Structure 1
Amino acid sequence: MRIVLAAVLCLLSALPAAAGEAEVRSAQSAIDGQLKAFLANDGPAAYGYAAPNIKRIFPTVEAFMGMVTNGYPPVRRPKTYSFGKVEEMSPTSIIQQVLILGPDGKEYEAVYTLELQADGTHKITGCSLRASNALST
């Protein structure tokens, strides 16, 4: 009986980690999808990954794409990118570091914030960008 109880407790303790991993994968999928849409010049698809707070500030695809093109060139046209550190701030909020090699050949760190939406998808609520010579993961 003790062995069964121990096994059940082990399985139950693993569930939150699995849920957290699923949340992280969902958030990373949103970022990856948006970056691929930028590279494909698919503004409507890229805009689709933006959370409602971003869409209120940039109410059209054109305004959103203009902001990204002018303010975030490494995000708009990354040569390469990879996921770095991630932190689940709450069951519905994730912060994800993305390491980017920009079109200028320089390294950048983009820090994305994402929120889980009512439809079960993660949408991007913000992105901060900084240049870096030595990025750590």
Structure 2
Amino acid sequence: MPARFAFAARRLAAHLLFVLSGIIFVMPAPLAHAEDPVEDAQAIITRQIDALRSGDAAAAYGFASPDIRSLFPDQTTFLDMVKKRYAPLSRADRYAFGRSKLVGGGEIVLQEVTGTGSDAKDWTAIYDMRLQDDGSYKINGVRMLAKSASTGI
């Protein structure tokens, strides 16, 4: 009987170890600041601009913060607003990242983006990126400027 118990205990321990290793493997990143907030913010901005240029409303909407999504409760309304108020972003031929500023140790990243639209007009956008509880950044607002002038970030 003791040998049988030892075998069962080892089997249970192995099973638990297997289950726990699977849980650890699929757990989301810890709720901490990103290693490089600016790099993470720029990656999100790039992915949203790509989604806007391709007309992928669901993807573009997914990069918006919960505060923005509460103002535009569906992806169609969101995309319509972006096309009207932020047209250069959805028609960006070329763009580059400029200055950035971390606020609150990285909870907020202000990122300058300059570009040229399909109409050959230059533009500057200041993205307000917010760190979320899950450690990701979401776009919490964009301020468009007509020309690529000094923005004072």
Q: TM-score, normalised by structure 1?
A: 0.81
Shift of 1:135: 3.6
Q: Which runs of 5+ in 1 are unaligned?
A: 1-18
Contact 1:20 1:88 in 2 (8 A): no
Q: Secondary structure at the match of 1:59?
A: coil
SS at match of 1:79: strand
**Counterpart in 1 of 2:114?**
99
Q: Choose the corresponding residue for 1:33, options 41, 44, 47.
A: 47
**Residue aligning to 1:55:** 69
Tell me which stretches of 4 or more aligned residues in structure 1 moved more than 3 Å.
Answer: 134-137
What code does the residue aligned with 2:46 have?
Answer: D
Q: Which residue of 2 aligns with 1:46?
A: 60
Identity %: 36
Indicate the RMSD between aligned Cα atoms, in angstroms. Answer: 1.7
- Match of residue 135, structure 2, among 96, 120, 126: 120
- Paired residues, number: 118
What is residue 7 of structure 1 aligned with on the other side?
none
Residue 98 of structure 2 aligns with which residue?
84
TM-score normalised per structure 2: 0.73
- How far does the alpha carbon of each residue in 1:33-61 deviate from its partner, in whole angstroms, 9 at most, with x for none? 10011112111001000000100100000
Q: Deviations over 1:57-91 (max 9, x none)?
A: 00000110000011111011101110001000113
